[in-house]
Chain A
Amino acid sequence: MTTSTRGTRVPAVLVLEDGRSFRGRAYGAVGETFGEAVFSTGMTGYQETLTDPSYHRQVVVMTAPHVGNTGVNDEDHESARIWVSGYVVRDPARTPSNWRSRRSLDEELERQGVVGISGIDTRALTRHLRESGAMRVGVFSGDAVTGDADMLAKVRAQPQMKGADLSAEVATKEPYVVPAIGEKKFTVAAVDLGIKGMTPQRMAERGIEVHVLPATATADDVYAVAPDGVFFSNGPGDPATADHPVAVMRAVLERRTPLFGICFGNQILGRALGFGTYKLKYGHRGINQPVQDRTTGKVEVTAHNHGFAVDAPLDQVSDTPYGRAEVSHVCLNDNVVEGLQLLDQPAFSVQYHPEAAAGPHDAAYLFDRFVSLMEAERA
């Protein structure tokens, strides 16, 4: 049961699992919500962020103070719905302003039942998460605001993100096809683990017909579409739980089909190759992260949204069941592995988001690299 907050000052409280709390006003829907508290540092692109399935079960704290300024339009969403479980902003817009805007963000949040909070010291919260790490959180507004101990108990009763298997909850249930734009050159089977709309779009722009398959797709399902290449998407949850996609990927690697993975897909490649994955203290979420392509030495400014990372040696080539592998990309801020490639067969992946949306287009060349692999295979 949610009610409108627009134009009113309904009290709201954000409670972290370690007991720290922030008092503000309700934003979007009124009620209560839970998830993992994470912060995102992008200054633009809230509509894309909200609709990114990788944010499933996360309460997103926006570090940019003004959110909602350009309203919500009909073009920029990355999936059919908002996925964040809660939204934390400092200064929500009262009036959206943009020629493409169709409605205000708070209307949209309310319509989709997303509970949020505004007017809190988001910087203090961000610093807290940076120092103490991502953690469980609850947002309570209106009648849901009860005693501190009661709210804290509810937060602590929530499941942890570590160990969560969430892909199936966000992925498509039925396969669908995104047609190539212009002349069709390739067919790609894309395993949807929480895919963003821009990813098949970027492939379609390059003449790829994209068959988006459910997270539960088997290797047979993948090869049923006669793919020139296979793609593993981004998605929410702990990669350590993703045994099924790892198995499917191994099948693809066995057959040496050109392979590309993004984000969760990168972690799955890591696991398929025998590397471990681990949870970062507070993750990378933003659109300003410097990643170096170690094959060229060039630095690209990239969009990130990951709380887990692959544990692979940075400065040596590793032997894997599929030949030699190396870390191709690394984040210059903290030396986290941001990309893997196999040296003896056509497979690579990145931890960040070359499809951008939101974010810079610096890494769009990776889609061209995928095309080149498929071309080389065909030649």
Chain B
Amino acid sequence: MPKRTDIQSVLVIGSGPIVIGQAAEFDYSGTQACRVLKSEGLRVILVNSNPATIMTDPEIADATYVEPITPEFVEKIIAKERPDALLPTLGGQTALNTAISMHEQGVLEKYGVELIGANVEAIHKGEDRDLFKGVVEAVRARIGHGESARSVICHSMDDVLAGVETLGGYPVVVRPSFTMGGAGSGFAHDEEELRRIAGQGLTLSPTTEVLLEESILGWKEYELELMRDKHDNVVVVCSIENFDPMGVHTGDSITVAPAMTLTDREYQILRDVGIAIIREVGVDTGGCNIQFAVNPEDGRVIVIEMNPRVSRSSALASKATGFPIAKIAAKLAVGYTLDEIPNDITQETPASFEPTLDYVVVKAPRFAFEKFPSADSTLTTTMKSVGEAMAIGRNFTEALQKALRSLEKKGSQFTFVGDPGDKAELLREAVRPTDGRINAVMQAIRAGATPEEVFDATKIDPWFVDQMFLIKEIADELAAAEKLHPELLAEAKRHGFSDQQIAEIRGLREDVVREVRHALGVRPVYKTVDTCAAEFAAKTPYFYSSYDEETEVARRDKPAVIILGSGPNRIGQGIEFDYSCVHASFALSDAGYETVMVNCNPETVSTDYDTSDRLYFEPLTLEDVLEIVHAEQQAGPLAGVVVQLGGQTPLGLAQALKDNGVPVVGTPPEAIHAAEDRGAFGRVLKEAGLPAPKHGTATTFAEAKEIADEIGYPVLVRPSYVLGGRGMEIVYDEARLETYIAESTEISPTRPVLVDRFLDDAIEIDVDALYDGEELYLGGVMEHIEEAGIHSGDSACALPPITLGGFDVKRLRASTEAIAKGVGVRGLINIQFAMAGDILYVLEANPRASRTVPFTSKATAVPLAKAAARISLGATVAELRAEGLLPARGDGGELPLDAPISVKEAVMPWSRFRDIHGRGVDTVLGPEMRSTGEVMGIDSVFGTAYAKSQAGAYGPLPTKGRAFISVANRDKRSMIFPARELVAHGFELLATSGTAEVLKRNGINATVVRKQSEGEGPGGEKTIVQLIHAGEVDLIVNTPYGTGGRLDGYEIRTAAVARGVPCLTTVQALAAAVQGIDALTHGGVGVRSLQEHAEHLIAARD
């Protein structure tokens, strides 16, 4: 049965900003879905507040709304566009929850919009714990297998306490209903933990519901990805086994595909149960993911949960198998059946089969605990990782070692030199699941632990443990060998050892090992991911390396460009960089090149086999990239390697690639150095006559002190060559400077610490620009809302700048051009300026695609990354203007007066982290970046755009109610006008005594509330923290006095996070919020698609 003819237009809801548990994978799935629907001739309407996505590129949908994903805004879009159908299963929990809420409010019915790809009943059955338990029971009655963990549903703390008794005591698992990525769930070993976790869970759950469950810690954990069509054909796309047994969220586990330690009988039971569940739940069409726990002692199978939608795991499964789940789900939603859809990879066989793998896939999570030093690093059932790397090998050891080196994190690879430490201590360490537990296990093995001891400590399956021993034995052989003979080297490579690891073991340099290896003819071949274990010929060149015999890389005639991606998402290097890489691939393909993508991040659009002509799913290390370059040079002409779009990861390889004779195109490595090296960059500025804040570089405390004394405190200190402000801090005194230097591990004679004068009260400005050696194209000027000192990635900003005049922009353009020229940029450059008084300081320059490129591109309707890729390969700005890729006249610095205002707001992961005592982590912004994602608000005036950005990031700004204000002394002056405005809008103000006094003197009435430190009043007057928890505060303004978590502000801000109350931590944000509230109150906030904005902008330009 072919596609439905009664649907002409579909609304697709995206997943919004990148947050922990809901990341780039939904851009991958959403992009696939939109493309499919469009190619089916449907009008695709998309809403997603996240500008850093490919799916929100204007070409992907017919009408793209970068608007908040809230029922209110989505209703406005529906009212305007009147779609026939809504597809809610591709935008994660956000899209699903929004769709359900609109269904429940009757909005869908009102406008006659049909929900496709999922029905409400199925969503409830899949997601509601109680209903799902019923599903599992029904399945067991029918097929005799599968059960739920024994559990109790609770709606209050009394229920919870009674529930523990029913289950037979601690430990118990707490799982709140309807939260994303397992937010708020955890293990409680005693009543204190239970009260804390369950209390928070009840709050987090939109239905005030948590589930208490028997503990199945240490059981084997599996996932199946299934798809079903309307004819009830069901296929299992992939099985995934967790290396880390039950107790660690699957997003935080090392996972392996296919399952490694199941017999066919056991696997078929999981498959039967999975199919019975998808039927019982009633997922009509589309994908779902089901998690199982299997008791290693007797095979008892417990069904943990199901997600009736495309998920992070389905993105992983798609990349692991070559079976594009989201794409197929979209086709099924519009009426196709599985047997009618061809398998893209073979083109001759249908999608109604189950992929079979002749390789092993390992996914490893990437954490960011270094950004949240006070957070508890124990891994639990709440997901905490910010990204992941996937690797493919012909066996587990190869895939594992590739995955670990793909993480690009110091110490993520196994090391086999030095004293491993004390066995008993290491085994104790391995009991607690953490980031890097696998390394502790390896060290325990090196220290003499037996397989049984490792299993007892970790419950990691003995087969996996044996594989760890295998790796260690190869390392021993490498160490013991007289010389590196070819058989041994080949054996080590077959088990995934990097040249660097071998070098370390042999006491050689990495490049020497490589030379020896090449001399001995030990080089990788490239195999194809083909869904069918070579049973049919694959048409899609999706490759991974292996030390096997036969390579499958075909000859080609067209010149190729290799684009290096950005690796696992992490704070500071996320989806924005993948966006630029994908754009480069599209632009270069259009320009006639054969595009070759290299990346190891399964969540991304860049690793979709559809994106580039060839895809290498490989780690982004020098060794792996050099081998790919070699393979591609063997295959045909190579025009160059693009390194400046994937962030710091490929940029860091630029010089070494060039040194190895690789044609690096675009900004040359020397220019990258000129921008990153303080001395060299200082000379560039000096020659251009541009001021930078006073600064110096130091490798010791004495040197740093001398510099700080000269320029005066506060100073901004940071290690050189880092991204995302890692380790950056504003230091107010000498004592802190000393501890900073002592604590910093990143500082060495070759990597000095930078000490800058900190510019108080300066306006920070970001500029993205293109430079071809002759002409500058100013992409956009962004004015930060927060003052300088807050990392640009965490700061909200507006484009066009809202308070800068034409003269300022002219100065910015001239400075940018001087720097681009002085550094020697060929492509993109991002420069951060600070305007203090009337002086424009240059803070730093990055000769690469920046985090803001997608935002700038969308705000100005100009594809900057595409242009940058072309310039890298020799095109000029003038040529690109003539071609129409860039506007014929003008640039992003001179937007017409009635151009829309775009506001970018950062989204922070505070609610994900707890310290070891279970308290929240502080939410104050600082020079070190900690946001995971961003949203964009776009409208004709700033206030509305800002309000939209807030609604997209944190939920709508309140337009009435009670606002609590407590600000640091230095902010008290600038607080008065916005506070008066709040009162004018009918807010009741609450304030602590000091702030209230200042307000009073300025004629503004505020109710004094008790500080947390004052405790409850004699008449039971609540403290501010209690008021927040009681839901009696609608808006919080709290600027920090210092960064210590012991202060009152900490309690206030963490309470705000827990209750989801908007909390502004800078006075500038307050001023912007007031404008937003003003815009909301005056009503008429409309929605407008990017295509309409662009049309308007282009018309205004001409």
Contact segment of B195-203, B526-534, B649-657: B526-534
A81 to chain B, nearest CB (A): 19
Indicate if the CB atoms of A289 and B353 lie closer than 8 Å: yes
Min CB–CB distance A112 → chain B (angstroms) = 19
Among candidates A42, A94, A288, A289, residue contacting B355 with C-beta atoms closer than 8 Å = A288
B339 and A292 contacting across the interface, CB-CB below 8 Å: yes
Q: Using an 8 Å CB-CB cutoff, how does the interface string of A270-302 with B read, 1 for contact, 0 for none?
A: 000000000000000011111010000111010
Chain A residue numbers with a CB within 8 Å of B395 are 65-66, 90-91
From A69, A301, A358, B354 is in contact (CB under 8 Å) with A301
Chain B residues whose CB sits within 8 angstroms of the CB of A96 once the complex forms: 463
Partner-binding segment picked from B31-39, B264-272, B1052-1060: B264-272
Contact partners of A288 in chain B: CB under 8 A = 353-356, 532
Binds A, one of B295-303, B573-581, B959-967: B295-303
Q: Is the CB of A126 within 8 A of B463?
A: no
Given A123-B534, A290-B352, A332-B353, answer yes or no on A99-B268 (Cβ-Cβ < 8 Å): no
B264 x A358 contact (CB < 8 A): yes
Interface presence of B1095 (CB below 8 A): no
The stretch of B177-185, B229-237, B752-760, B782-790 in contact with A is B229-237
**CB <8 Å contact, A124 and B349:** no
Q: Are B355 and A297 in contact (CB under 8 A)?
A: no
- In the bound complex, residues from chain A placing their C-beta under 8 Å from that of B780 are none
Task: Give the docked Cα–Cα distance between A308 and B299 (Å).
Answer: 37
Stretch of B357-365, B632-640, B973-981 at the chain-chain interface: B357-365
Of A95, A123, A130, A360, which is within 8 A of B358 by CB?
A123
Give CA–CA (A42, B394) in the complex, Å: 16
Q: Does B451 contact A (CB under 8 A)?
A: yes
From known contacts A69-B261, A70-B262, A93-B463, infer whether A123 and B550 are also in contact, taking CB-CB under 8 Å: yes
Which of chain A's residues have a CB closer than 8 A to the CB of B356?
41-43, 63-64, 286-288
User: Quick one: which of A120, A334, A359 contacts B264, CB cutoff 8 A?
Assistant: A359
Are the C-beta atoms of A66 and B550 separated by less than 8 Å?
no
The count of A-to-B residue pairs whose CB atoms sit within 8 angstroms is 165
Q: Which residues of B contact A93 (CB under 8 A)?
A: 463, 466
Residue in B337, B357, B396 whose CB lies within 8 Å of A43: B357
CB <8 Å contact, B534 and A126: yes
Q: Is the C-beta of B764 less than 8 angstroms from some C-beta in chain A? A: no
- Contacts of A64 on B, CB cut-off 8 Å? 258, 356-358, 533
B297 / chain A contacts, CB cutoff of 8 Å:
99
Q: How far is the CA of A66 from the CA of B1006 in the complex (A)?
A: 70
Whether A130 pairs with B534 at a CB distance below 8 angstroms is: yes
A332, B340: Cα distance in complex, Å? 10
B233 A298 Cβ-Cβ under 8 A: yes
Cβ of B1017 within 8 Å of any chain A Cβ, yes or no, is no
Does A357 reach chain B (CB closer than 8 Å)?
yes
- Which residues of B are found within 8 Å of A41, using beta-carbon distances? 356, 358, 532-533, 535
Q: Are A298 and B264 in contact (CB under 8 A)?
A: no
Complex formed: what's the CA distance from A356 to B358 in Å?
A: 21
Whether B261 lies near A70 (C-beta < 8 A) is yes
Contact A97–B261 (Cβ < 8 Å): yes
Is the beta-carbon distance between A76 and B265 smaller than 8 angstroms? yes
Residues from chain B with a CB closer than 8 A to the CB of A47 are 263-264
Q: Does A122 contact B (CB under 8 A)?
A: yes
CA distance A149 to B396 in the complex (A): 36
Given known contacts A95-B466, A121-B550, A361-B268, A301 and B535 CB-to-CB distance under 8 angstroms: no
Q: Is B470 an interface residue (CB 8 A)?
A: yes
Given that A73-B263, A332-B350 are known contacts, is A301 also in contact with B235, CB under 8 Å in the complex? yes
Q: Which residue of B lies closest to A68 (CB)?
A: B463
A127 within 8 A of B: yes
Interface members, chain A 106-124 (any B CB < 8 Å)? 120-124
Q: Does B1037 contact A (CB under 8 A)?
A: no
For B165, list chain A residues within 8 Å (CB).
none
A357 nearest CB neighbor, chain B only? B264
Name the CB-closest residue of B to A129: B534
Contact present for B534 and A63 (CB under 8 Å): yes
Task: List chain B residues, Cβ under 8 A from A91.
Answer: 394-396
Count of A interface residues, CB-CB < 8 Å: 55
B549 touches A22 (CB 8 A): yes
Give the size of the chain B interface in residues (CB under 8 angstroms): 56
In Å, the complex CA distance between A205 and B268 comes to 18
Question: Which residues on B sit within 8 Å (CB–CB) of A332?
Answer: 339, 349-350, 352-353
Question: Which residues in B have their C-beta under 8 angstroms from that of A287?
Answer: 264, 354, 356
Separation of A36 and B358 alpha carbons in the complex (Å) = 21
The listed residue (A70, A286, A299, A360) touching B263 by CB distance below 8 A is: A70
Q: Does B338 contact A (CB under 8 A)?
A: yes
CA separation between A103 and B360, bound complex, in Å? 24
B268 touches A63 (CB 8 A): no
B486 beta carbon closer than 8 Å to chain A? no
Q: Is A207 interfacial (CB-CB < 8 Å)?
A: no
Does B536 count as interface, using CB distance less than 8 angstroms? yes
**Contact of B550 (CB < 8 Å), options: A63, A76, A127:** A127
B1031 is an interface residue with CB less than 8 A from chain A: no
B260 at interface, CB cutoff 8 A: yes
Q: Is the CB of B268 within 8 A of A97?
A: no
**Residue A316 lies at the interface, judged by CB distance under 8 Å to chain B:** no
B968–chain A nearest beta-carbon distance, Å: 59
Interface residue A45 (Cβ < 8 Å from any Cβ of B)? yes
Whether B296 lies near A99 (C-beta < 8 A) is yes
Q: Does B548 contact A (CB under 8 A)?
A: yes
- B-side contacts of A357, CB under 8 Å: 264-265
User: From A131, which residue of chain B is reached at the shortest CB distance?
Assistant: B537
Interface residues of A in 31-90 (CB under 8 A from B): 39, 41-45, 47-48, 63-66, 69-70, 73, 75-76, 90
Q: How many Å from the CB of B476 to the closest CB on chain A?
A: 15
Inter-chain CA distance A65–B816, complex, in Å, is 55
Chain A residues with CB below 8 A from B533, complex form: 39, 41, 63-64, 123, 126, 286
* Chain A residues closer than 8 Å to B352, beta-carbon distance: 290, 299, 301, 332
B264 touches A45 (CB 8 A): yes
* Contacts A41-B533, A95-B451, A299-B352 given; does A66 touch B396 at CB 8 Å: yes
Whether A44 and B263, one on each chain, are in contact in the complex, defined by CB atoms closer than 8 angstroms, is: yes
User: Is A333 on the interface with B (CB-CB < 8 A)?
Assistant: yes
- Which chain B residues border A356 with CB–CB below 8 Å? 268
Contact present for B338 and A124 (CB under 8 Å): no
Specify which chain A residues have a CB less than 8 angstroms from the CB of B244 in the assembled complex.
none
Cβ of B934 under 8 Å from chain A: no
Q: Is B679 an interface residue (CB 8 A)?
A: no
Complex: A301 Cα to B232 Cα, angstroms? 12
Q: What is the chain A residue whose CB lies nearest that of B267?
A: A44
A110 to B534 Cα, complex, angstroms:
29
* Chain B residues with CB under 8 A of A359: 264, 268
- The answer, yes or no, to whether A100 is at the interface (CB within 8 Å) is yes
A72 CA to B796 CA in the complex, in Å? 61
A292 neighbours in B (Cβ, 8 Å): 339
Bound Cα distance from A42 to B355, whole angstroms? 10
Q: Smallest distance from the beta carbon of B221 to chain A beta carbons, Å? A: 15
Whether A98 is near chain B, meaning CB under 8 Å from some CB there, is yes
Residues in A whose Cβ lies below 8 Å from that of B265: 75-76, 357
Tell me if B534 and A299 are in contact (CB < 8 A). Answer: no
Say yes or no: is B462 at the interface (Cβ < 8 Å to chain A): yes
In the assembled complex, the Cα of A298 lies from the Cα of B235 at a distance in Å of 12
Question: Could you say which residues of chain A place their CB within 8 Å of the CB of B147?
Answer: none
Query: A290 near B461 (CB under 8 angstroms)?
Result: no
User: Min CB distance, A46 to chain B, in Å?
Assistant: 8
Q: A29: shortest Cβ distance to chain B, in Å?
A: 23
A-B contact pairs, 14 of them (CB 8 A): A44-B268, A47-B264, A66-B396, A69-B463, A95-B451, A97-B462, A121-B548, A127-B534, A287-B354, A297-B231, A299-B337, A301-B235, A332-B353, A333-B536
Q: Known contacts A70-B263, A287-B264, A358-B268; can you find 19 more A-B pairs with CB under 8 A? A: A43-B258, A44-B264, A45-B263, A64-B258, A70-B261, A70-B262, A91-B395, A97-B462, A99-B297, A100-B299, A124-B550, A126-B535, A286-B533, A292-B339, A298-B231, A299-B339, A332-B339, A333-B353, A357-B265
Name the 3 nearest CB pairs between A and B, nearest first: A45-B264, A124-B550, A63-B533
